[in-house]
Amino acid sequence: MGRKLDVGRSSRTPVKHYLLNASLGKVCGVLAMGSPKVPCKITSSQPLVCVDLCGGDGLKTEDHDASPLIMYHHCEQLGKRGKRATLQVIEKQENTFEQLQENCEWMDDRIVTLSNADAHFYRLPKLAETQAAYVHCDPNHVNDIPLTTEFVSGFNKFTTYLVTLGCNVTGLKRKTIEERSVWYEYVEMLIEVLPNHHDAILFWLNRDKAQWAYLLSFPKLWAEGFKEKAIEQTRKQWSKGVSAVSWRDDQRGFMNELHRLFLTKEEHASLRND
């Protein structure tokens, strides 16, 4: 295993990895059942398509897991159940990519493809109408987020995602509101393509100075139960607790929390008083 690098790991990381593991695990678990009631049809020619847009170094430690490993595990398990899944892992930084290759060299290349590339230019393969896809996007900074309108236009009605929102990382709130508004644009872009049968859940770490938050899309049928269980389970990872709000259940509350996360206290108070 490669030498330890401090790439994408902090005291907040286990919450993110819980959400990734639990949500993709739920998707793969349902797909593996092959129930006629499940509208997605996963086959050898029409696999579940998974992509990790900000792969990092893929290093697992005693304290932290790694997103490529989490995603690979679920793809592999799906294959063992007679279904096929593919995983594309993209990492832009060359030094980090070298570590990713070393730490993931044991993976089956029939499942995973590692790319040293800029994910801004990545596009999903053309998805069949009944095919499922899962997108993980975990940038370190707003300027690194690789989501584009061209990429999102490749989503179909069975595409789900987990996107990290670093609302005050490295003192982001000291920047102008115009610079910070980019986060809003990403959230709005993702909400706009949300299928009617999906929900979007905003999770955030309570009393976190960096104000890390995560946007997860999920079928409405599972959303409420997943949200409540995630809040309960992530207390083990973040002692101050994690909160969440659903777009479908409380759009006003969702937008208020989004404002609170990205605006300064003064800006948020002014907005509420208007």
Domain ranges of the chain: 13-273
| pTM over the 0.85 mark | yes
pLDDT at 176: 73
Residue-wise pLDDT for 98-123, tens only, equals 999 999 999 999 999 999 999 999 99
* DSSP structure class, residue 36: T
CA–CA separation, 132 and 49 (whole Å): 6
Query: How much is the average pLDDT of 43-66?
Result: 92
For residue 178, the tally of other CB atoms under 10 A from its CB is 7
Which H/E stretch holds residue 94? helix 94-103
The per-residue pLDDT for 244 is: 97
Distance CA 273, CA 271 (A): 5
Q: How far is the CA of 115 from the CAs of 8, 88, 125, 175, 273, in angstroms?
A: 18, 8, 15, 32, 48
Sheet with 198-205, strands from edge to edge, namely 112-116, 85-91, 48-52, 133-137, 159-166, 212-219, 198-205, 242-246
- State residue 264's pLDDT score: 76
Q: Is the pLDDT of residue 46 over 90?
A: yes
Q: What CATH superfamily is the domain 13-273? A: Vaccinia Virus protein VP39 (3.40.50.150)
DSSP secondary structure code for residue 44 in this structure = S
Distance of alpha carbon 5 from the chain centroid: 21
Name residues whose C-beta falls within 8 Å of residue 117's C-beta, 6 or more positions apart in sequence: 90, 91, 92
Average of per-residue pLDDT values in the chain = 89
What pLDDT sits at residue 161?
97
| Greatest mean pLDDT range, 28-37, 75-84, 139-148, 177-186 | 75-84
pLDDT at 257 over 70: yes
pLDDT score of 4: 38
pLDDT tens sequence across 206-237:
988 878 899 999 999 999 999 999 999 999 89
DSSP H helical ranges for 176-250: 177-192, 220-233
Average pLDDT over residues 136-147: 83
Put residue 58 in one of left, alpha, beta given phi > 0 → left and psi -120 to 50 → alpha: left
**DSSP secondary structure string for all residues of 129-155:** TT--EEEEE--SSGGG----HHHHTT-
Across 4-15, average pLDDT: 63
pLDDT band at 37 (very low <50, low <70, confident <90, very high): confident
Strands (E), the chain: 48-52, 85-91, 112-116, 133-137, 159-166, 198-205, 212-219, 242-246
- List the single range of 37-41, 44-48, 165-169, 257-261 with lowest mean pLDDT: 165-169
pLDDT above 70 for 249: yes
**Least confident stretch, 19-28, 32-41, 76-85, 242-251:** 32-41
- pLDDT score of 225: 97
